A and B are shown apart, each in its own frame.
Chain A
Amino acid sequence: MDSTDLTSLVDGCRAGDALAWEAFVRQIQGRVFALAYSYAGDREDARDLAQEIFVRLYEARGQWPSGDEFLPWLFRVARNRSVDYLRRRSVRRPAGTVDEKALADVPDSAPGAEAQAIASDRRGLLHAALRGLSAISREIVILRDVHGLPVQQVASILGVPLGTVKSRASRARVELAERVLALARGRGEA
């Protein structure tokens, strides 16, 4: 994502420009939906959740931070809304219930049907493995390793000490790798 484009879109949205908002939604929806999916674990729930996140963003567009502070703020809003959504619906899905088949239908930017199939399969495995992690470890991996936020911002968003994020991040990665390998072996791919 081009940060310059995003900055201009953010400025346009803050000024109430409807076209800028539409362009912003088109540009950011993939990331918001991915984050929502990592919390909801179901495509339809993730759509509802992502829509709620966008509605919240739209309602607060007058108070959007500018520049580099925007994306961390966006993730904080998305994360809080996701936690509220799950709490409201009491849908804390157990490990392994991720809809891998639905994920396999997700189009991928990789060219070729085979490459798409492989990428979708890997995504499915990763999501299934992420479901097996504890909530805090999963959120750390999602924010730090999936979306690439700095450790300080992850700690700020989750409201935990910086050292906790660092130590849990390393352990979570190892645990995630083990789970992925175990799942792959279970499917006869190891």
Chain B
Amino acid sequence: MSRPTCDQVRAAALDPGTVPRDWVRRPEAAGHIQQCPACQDWLDAFAAGERAWALEPAGVFAEGVIARTTGADAVLADLPLLAELDPGPAFTERVLMATSRKPAPAGWRWRVSGAWQALVRRPRFAWEAAYVATVCWVLVFGNPVGAIEWSASNIGAVARERLGPPVKELRGGLETWRARMAPEPPVAAGTATGPQAEAVPPVVRAWQAASDWLRGLTASVVEACRLAWARAAAWFERLVGETPGPPTEPPAAAARSHQ
């Protein structure tokens, strides 16, 4: 047999009824196929088709044949082009702003957290916190003013205790000094008459009159000072003496509240 052509080889493969199927394995055909890349590819494709025919149901295989003949193969090859599209440069940022960089949802936790943050960041928050803490302290532990009251009373007691003796001493000194400075009782009229009275020169009388006037003035000044001191002492005593009894220890309740 002469050397077969490409058409003969392919016809033999396609039409096993007219040519024995194993004809392509004969030495003449095998020699042609070995030397002809086109026939090799063709026979590989044909073998793949036969395998598909054997594996696939007839309907699916027919659909495949239709697809291959209508150009669907080329279309299907292009379909992966649609698998990815560029959404644009700002898309990632837009998604992140809507997800991971988005503020927390406006639930009650978010509202409470936001209100708390706004409260804490105010400059006067420390004062307000101290005020609220004090109110809470009073509500929970009682009235701490008792301690303050004790402090005020104690200050009065201490003041009276410390200032009382010096004030008494000063008063005594003032009385003594006033008594010393008090004017002499007036001399009886009879005693001034006679030769001794007449013998007093006018200068001495003038001196005595000046002394009397000065003494009276001094007594007036001292009396005014005494009255002023008495008023001040009365005011001070009224001030510190209004609270009943000078406690030297804090009240029991206040003492308990400090423990």
Contact = CB atoms under 8 A, between A and B. Distances in A.
A58 interface: yes
A141 B79 contact: yes
Contacts of A30: 84-87
Contacts of A130: 82
Interface of B: 59-60, 63-64, 66-67, 70-76, 78-88, 91-92, 94-96, 98-100
Interface residues of A, number: 47
Contacts of B82: 34, 38, 123, 126-127, 130, 142, 146
B75 A146 contact: no
Interface secondary structure of B, over-half rule: helix
A111 interface: no
Contacts of B64: 170
- With most chain A CB atoms within 10 A of its CB, the pick from B59, B63, B79 is B79
A51 B72 contact: no
Given A29-B87, A50-B91, A122 B81 contact: yes
Contacts of A127: 82
Contacts of A166: 60
A165 B187 CA distance: 149
A58 B80 CA distance: 27
Interface string A23-42: 00110011101100110000
B95 to A, nearest CB: 5
Nearest to A176: B75
Interface stretch (A88-96, A152-160, A177-185): A177-185
Given A18-B100, A21-B100, A126-B81, A174 B63 contact: yes
A178 B70 contact: yes
5 contacts: A21-B96, A22-B92, A50-B91, A141-B79, A146-B80
A85 interface: no
Contacts of A31: 83-84
Contact of A106 (B71, B73, B74, B85): B85
Given A33-B84, A122-B81, 13 more contacts: A21-B96, A21-B99, A22-B92, A29-B91, A30-B87, A34-B85, A47-B87, A50-B95, A126-B75, A145-B80, A177-B72, A177-B74, A178-B72
